Structures are given as structure tokens and as C-alpha cells.
Amino acid sequence: MSAEKVLVVEDERAQRDALTQYLGRAGYAVTAVATGEAALERLAAEKWAVLLTDLRLPGADGLAVVRQARERDDELGVLLMTAYASVESAIEALRIGAHDYLLKPLILEEVARKVRRLVEHRALVGENARLRRALQQPADGHDLVAVSPAMSAVADWVRRAAATRATVLLTGETGTGKEVVARAIHQKGPDADQPFLAVNLAALPETMVESELFGHERGAFTGAERRREGLLRAAGAGTVFLDEVAELPSSAQAKLLRALESHEVQPLGSDATATFEARVVAATNRDLALESQAGRFREDLYYRLNVLRIRLPPLRERPEDIPGLVTSLLARHGSRPGARIPAVSPEALRALCRHPWRGNVRELSNVLERATILADDGRIDLDQLPDDVRESAAPRLSLPEAVDRFERSHIALVLRLCDGNRERAAEELGISAATLYRRLERLGLKGRDRNGTV
């Protein structure tokens, strides 16, 4: 196979040379140019696998290059380089089609890793598009946003898991994306045209769990008027998604273990067994190891499910994913009839990136849906965000800054209570008058009015 072609656009000479050399050694055919115009010329002249461009460029800027490049070739992988200070433009770039961005100063290994991922991704996109055309069916579900290293690792595991039929266990807090990942594993696999059947075991009455999973014969129990195949068989060679698997009643746990080991089920009310092919993906937000130690979950079933485990990190551990998620979720909400996709102000985005998101991606999604409705002028600003999220935009203070701030307001309060009498205030504060004077000076409270009001 000939080397994949990478176009590097970077105005700084040393940086450009370093990238050319490093990526060249990594096996790519690298061409480097220094201006936006030169980049546009090269993009028009030939086909490239990956475009790696600086955001600030002389002539046409990085955003214009990205936009034109993506318009011309929708399979091109686009990677943007930017200084931390201009992360908002990086987000704009993601919106218009860049796949990922790198923060400067660059770490060359990371550059090579991201380039490689885009090359692989491009091969996959091409393949998926061909498969989809062949199947004549639209891609449903949503793409997995995975920008952070932690989520890139998840995406790698998804790809690996998709290639096998091993049982997969997905763990992670509520709203972290376990179901999206389960669907992605199904969709990226060779049997994506087969059914994906999901069941929420927490929502199902205990008496129905077994018949739902393993099926029943007609008349197997009161009310069983018709025979039921059960999800494991109904899914064919597809996937059965067992959500909230920790809630599985203990008799069903034993039966599920047997089913997974033998690939056979025994429908309720039947003497015969029937084979099934489906692959099982299970999810839980509990710690199954703990549950099994506590005797609430069969240990042998836990080991059987745990063949391949993928842990979804909480959103607060991966704020790098937030800009991409915002873009993807807004596009989703905006695609509903009557809605249009709003722009997000830099302040609002900063708040979204800083918020701790206890409800993870689901909470982010709900906040954006509400903000979309409130954004009459097509723009989401701080005003359209809930109070607790908006407060996250406040700059974080260092400990000395926070201490100063507290000290200042406490001293001001005591001074006010003492009618501005500094001797009395010092006594009340438990420090000497001299110390109080020094503090007032340091905190910039000196020279205020007699009442010590700040």
C-alpha cells in the first residue's frame, strides 16, 4: 500500500519542519505549506488523506481552509492545531467539520496518534458508507463523540468488541453513554443488519423477566395466550442489550448463565431447548464486583459477563469531549421539526465545559434542549443556561485568592459592625491593630471611607 498523504499547513518554519520530519518517519507522505492560499491550491490539485492545519495563518485562515477542504472532500480527515487561548475557534472548526484538534505546544507523538486514528477512521467511514449503500438502510443511532483520551480508548474498545461475538459488560454512571456504546458495538459489527433488541431489566416485573428473555410456550402460565420466542432468539445473529443487569432476579441469573454457556434456552413451559446466536451486551451503573461479593449477584455470572468490560468515564473526567458533544447534541435537537441549530457564545461554552455534570451526557443534553427552546435569536448565551451551570462560568480562584477574598469581606463586615473603629475591629478579629492596618493595606482596603465600607 502506498503511503497515506498528509498535508501540513503551518506558518512557523521550525514547527513545520518538525511535523514534516516526524510524520515522514511515521510512514506518511507529507507535504508542508506555510499559508492558507497555498493549502487551498494543494487541496484543489490532489486528494489527501489527512489535513493538519494551524488555526492562525497568514492569508486565508485555518477556518476557511477547513471549510473549503471539507466541502470539496467529505472523507478527508481534518485535524486542527491551536493555542489553548483560541479553543473557541477550535470549537467553531469542529462545527464546520474538523474531526479533532491538538493544543499547542504540540506533542509529536500525540500528533502522530491522531493522524493515524483519522486515517483508520477514514477507511472505516468509506467502508461503512459502502456497506450502508449495499444494505440500502440509513444509519440510525448517533455517532459516538470521543475526543478525550479516555473516550478514544473507549472507541478503540468498541471497534475491537464489534469484531468479536464476546459478551460485553458496560459500566459507568448514569447518563455516561452505555446505551449509545452498546448500539455502536452492534452497528460497527458484521451483523449490523440483524436486530438490536434492548430490555431494561429494572423496568420489567420480576415475573416477566424470564419469559421476556427466554420465551414461553402457549399456556405456560396464566395469561400466556400466545407463544413467545424470547429476546435471545428473536435477535437472530444480532445483539441483545441487557440494561441494568444488576437488577436481574436470582433465578433468572442462573438461567442466563446457563444460556450464555450453552447458547441454548429453555422456554417456559417447554421441555425442549432451543439454540440462539445473539450476542449479549450488558450494562450497569452498579459495581458488579461489589454486588457479587455482597451475594446479590452470582459471581460466576459476573465473570461470564465480564469477558470484555468497557468502563464509561464520567463526563467531569473528560471535559475535552464537551465541545464535540455540544455540537452533536445541538444538531440532534435542532433536527426536530421547527427547530434550528443555535450558535453557542464563548461564555456559555466555557460554562458548559466547566460544569461538573453529575447527570453526565444526559444532563448536558437536557440543558441544551432547554437552551435551544429559549434561544429566540438563534444564540445560546449564559442567560439560556440554568443557574448552576451559569455559575460554573465564574473563574476558579486559587487558594490564596479565595483566602484573600474571604479575608477582605470578613474584615469589611467586622469594620462595618464596629462603625469603622479599627481598634475595636482588631480586637474583635483577634489580631493587633498593627496587623489589621497591614492587612487593610495588602487587601487594598486602605483609604476607603471612615466606615471601612468596601
Ligand X SMILES: Nc1ncnc2c1ncn2[C@@H]1O[C@H](COP(=O)(O)OP(=O)(O)OP(=O)(O)O)[C@@H](O)[C@H]1O
From the list ligand X, Mg ion, none, which binds 328 (C-beta under 5 to 8 Å, kind-based)? Answer: ligand X
C-alpha cell read off for 72? 470539496
Scan residues 175-204 and list those touching Mg ion (CB under 5 A). Answer: 179
Binding span for ligand X by CB under 6 A among 89-97, 206-214, 361-369, 400-408: 361-369
Q: Which of 8, 23, 102, 145 binds ligand X (CB under 6 A)?
A: 145
Closest by alpha carbon to 232, among 257, 204, 207, 269? 257
Shortest distance (Å) from residue 178 CB to ligand X? 3
Residues 338, 373: contact at Cβ < 8 Å?
no
| Residue 415 to residue 449: CA distance in whole angstroms | 11
Owner of C-alpha cell 492562525: 56
Nearer of residues 145 and 348 to ligand X, judged by Cβ: 145
Q: Which three cell numbers stand for residue 163?
A: 469484531
- In the complex, the smallest distance separating the C-beta of residue 367 from ligand X, rounded to whole angstroms, is 12
Q: Does 230 bind ligand X (CB under 6 A)?
A: no
Shortest Å, Cβ 369 to Mg ion: 17
Applying CB under 6 A, which of residues 19, 79, 180, 351 lies at the interface with ligand X? 180
Judged by CB under 6 A, which of 54, 100, 179, 210 binds ligand X? 179
Residue in 285, 306, 345, 421 binding ligand X, rule: CB under 6 A: 285
Residue closest to ligand X, measured at CB: 177
Dihedral pair phi/psi, residue 219, rounded to 5°: 75, 10
Does residue 365 belong to the site contacting ligand X (CB under 6 A)? yes
Q: Is the dihedral of CA 87, 91, 96, 99 positive or negative?
A: positive
Is 92 among the residues that bind Mg ion (CB under 5 A)?
no
Indicate whether 321 belongs to the interface with Mg ion (CB under 5 A).
no
Which one, 55 or 330, has the nearer CB to ligand X? 330
List the one residue from 176, 211, 266, 372 that touches ligand X (CB under 6 A): 176
Tell me how far apart the alpha carbons of residues 243 and 247 are, in angstroms, rounded to a whole number: 9
Radius of gyration (C-alpha) of the chain in whole angstroms: 29
Question: For residue 423, what are the contacts with CB-CB under 8 A and spacing of at least 6?
Answer: 433
**Least Cβ distance, residue 174 to ligand X (angstroms):** 3
In 28-127, which ranges are E strands? 29-33, 50-54, 77-83, 100-104
Q: Which residue has the cell 464489534?
A: 162
Cα distances from 171 to residues 176, 296, 301, 321, in angstroms, run 9, 17, 15, 18
Q: Which three cell numbers stand for residue 170?
A: 458496560
Judged by CB under 6 A, the number of residues near ligand X is: 17
Within its chain, how far is the Cα of 237 from the centroid?
A: 29
144 binds ligand X (CB under 6 A): yes
Helix pair 346-354, 87-95: axis angle to 10 deg = 100
Site for ligand X in 317-346 (CB under 6 A): 325, 328
Q: Which residues are near ligand X by CB under 6 A?
A: 142, 144-145, 172, 174-180, 285, 325, 328, 361-362, 365
Q: Which residues are near Mg ion by CB under 5 A?
A: 179
